[in-house]
Amino acid sequence: MKYASTLTLTSGPASAVASVEASARRGIPHWSMAGLTGTLERIRACLVQSGFSIPFATVLAHVTPAGKKAEPQMDLAIAASLLSALELLPQNSILLAHSPAVIGCLSLSGNILPAGDLAPMLLSAARAGVRTVVVPESQKNQAVIPDLKYAFARSIQDLMKPLVELEGRAARFEIKTQDSEMDYLRLPESVERAVAIASAGWHSILLMGPPGTGKSSCARAIAGLLPPPDETEAIEIRSIHPEMGNTISRPVRIPHHSSTLTALLGGGNPVRAGEVTRAHNGLLILDELAEFSRPVLQSLREPVQEQIVRISRGNDSAILPARFLLAATSNPCPCGHRDDPRTRCTCGDHQIRSYIQKITGPLLDRLDLQVDVPAAGGAEISSHVTKIRVARAISRQKHRFGKGSLRFNGLLPPDRLKDMISLSQSGRKYLEGVCAPSFRRLHSLLRVSRTIADLDDCEEVHDSHLLEAFHYSCSDYFRINGPGNA
């Protein structure tokens, strides 16, 4: 009898690889598991029910890393470690021959039961370098990570079998594009252009204007212009959205302005994903930005800038993905009718200033495009043409970036800007004259101008592209008041 260790996974959006260690030595029968002897007793009963003849032994088991508790989906891994420590498995069994990660709940009769949503666990296993996994046969359709070798098991007895008897294929999934709302919009040309730039290059956008000008529909229209997720993105989306099943599209999240910090960023114990994570690889729409609470707006800076969110709970912390495209809308003042020729604004200077200040400062610096949506409706635009142009700009980027995870200019890290953005002579000259308030703003200007050049089918970025990017870098509503320092 000996020591054995079996890989398994913790559950939830912050799933991580854990292992169950067991040691067995001949002696008085005594089974204990750090903190959870009941679990071990249950699994012992299940082994006996399944016909294993358990030798007299003192057995000790626990979950590592230290501090992790045994969770229901670790039942099968605990059983596997015990069988292995008690030397009850044949050498050619999947467990001894392949050291797989094992996921599954157990009934007392020894049947393997569903283990919650598998996708986040499988993604985490693949990222940790695990090659083979044992999962419940009843959850075959959730085996969506293509890089893993799957063994589908029905009962605890299946752990005795070699891989070939259990092996099955990864489940197929379908990738879908979002429907476009753009077909029904009448937009001024400059707004339509800004929406196309935001969608083509994954640039965050703020739409400012009086009520009823279609700001929210504009923000939603971006979803229909984004390309479908690639395979890696789709898997990441699936691991956060079990409700999508095997038809995956970019998520669109529209949290209400009364949302709490936890609802937006995530948290709790066990950790739950917040809206910023639920919008990962998709669109996060914040309607009426100034109505969100100040702490919520401040807290968005990290995910907008770093594309992740750090959640601390006690001594522990979790990092969840949060690479979303932010589309925000706002009225220009509390009543909404500042500079609106149709209705008189009833707000005082002080009211307007404090309203605007709430969305300015650090967050404003992270919004690449700031667009004024005028009260007068625009001409009919052809969404079909916009779609084609956006798709072409996206394929130009794909060609430039080559293989790798980068797909959009808006996600270019600062150290790659120089390689990826070639300026023409006029572009260089223009840039020398630009006085950007911060490096972040300057980098944003370069990324946006690269996307504008892509929309214009231009390999080099000219002064006209930079000028247009600069035009979109600050709303007129902020120019009048000057940037706030909230």
Q: Which stretch binds Zn ion (CB under 5 A): 66-74, 224-232, 338-346, 382-390?
A: 338-346
Judged by CB, which is closer to Zn ion: 89, or 289? 289
Angle (CA) 457 223 358, round 5°: 100
Q: Which stretch binds Zn ion (CB under 5 A): 213-221, 342-350, 399-407, 443-451?
A: 342-350
Least gap, CB of 347 to Zn ion (angstroms): 3
Q: Which stretch binds Zn ion (CB under 5 A): 256-264, 328-336, 374-382, 396-404?
A: 328-336
Question: Would you tell me how many other CB atoms lie within 10 Å of the CB of residue 209?
Answer: 26
The reply on whether position 375 binds Zn ion by CB under 5 A is: no
Task: For residue 175, list its beta bridge partners.
Answer: 248
Count of residues in contact with Zn ion, rule CB under 5 A? 5
Task: For residue 24, list its beta bridge partners.
Answer: 59
Q: Which stretch binds Zn ion (CB under 5 A): 220-228, 238-246, 334-342, 408-416?
A: 334-342
HSE (side-chain half, CA atoms, 13 Å) at 250 = 25
Distance, C-alpha 147 to centroid of its chain: 19
Distance CA 71, CA 18 (A): 11
Judged by CB, which is closer to Zn ion: 105, or 347? 347
Judged by CB, which is closer to Zn ion: 430, or 477? 477
Residues 6+ apart with CB under 8 A from 91: 97
Judged by CB, which is closer to Zn ion: 347, or 391? 347
Question: Would you tell me how many other CB atoms lie within 10 Å of the CB of residue 315?
Answer: 6
Judged by CB, which is closer to Zn ion: 147, or 476? 476
| One character per residue 92-131, x = contact with Zn ion (rule: CB under 5 A) | ----------------------------------------
- Per-residue burial over 192-202, b = 16 or more CB atoms within 10 Å of its CB, e = otherwise: bbbbbbbbbbb
Judged by CB, which is closer to Zn ion: 343, or 382? 343
Least gap, CB of 382 to Zn ion (angstroms): 34
Judged by CB, which is closer to Zn ion: 49, or 351? 351
Among 333, 367, 369, 390, the residue binding Zn ion under the rule CB under 5 A is 333
Beta strands in 149-203 (DSSP E): 149-153, 167-168, 174-175
For residue 215, what is the DSSP state?
H
Judged by CB, which is closer to Zn ion: 333, or 423? 333
The reply on whether position 290 binds Zn ion by CB under 5 A is: no
Tell me what percent of the chain is helix, strand and coil, each rounded to the nearest 5. Answer: 40, 20, 40
Distance CA 67, CA 73 (A): 17
Q: Are 279 and 327 in contact (CB under 8 A)?
A: no
Distance CA 56, CA 154 (A): 28
Least gap, CB of 73 to Zn ion (angstroms): 54
The reply on whether position 335 binds Zn ion by CB under 5 A is: yes
Candidates 260, 160, 235, 203; CA nearest to 449 is 203
Least gap, CB of 336 to Zn ion (angstroms): 6
The reply on whether position 345 binds Zn ion by CB under 5 A is: yes
Q: Which stretch binds Zn ion (CB under 5 A): 35-43, 83-91, 137-145, 330-338?
A: 330-338
For residue 346, what is the DSSP state?
-
Among 170, 347, 375, 442, the residue binding Zn ion under the rule CB under 5 A is 347
- Residue ranges in contact with Zn ion by CB under 5 A: 333, 335, 338, 345, 347
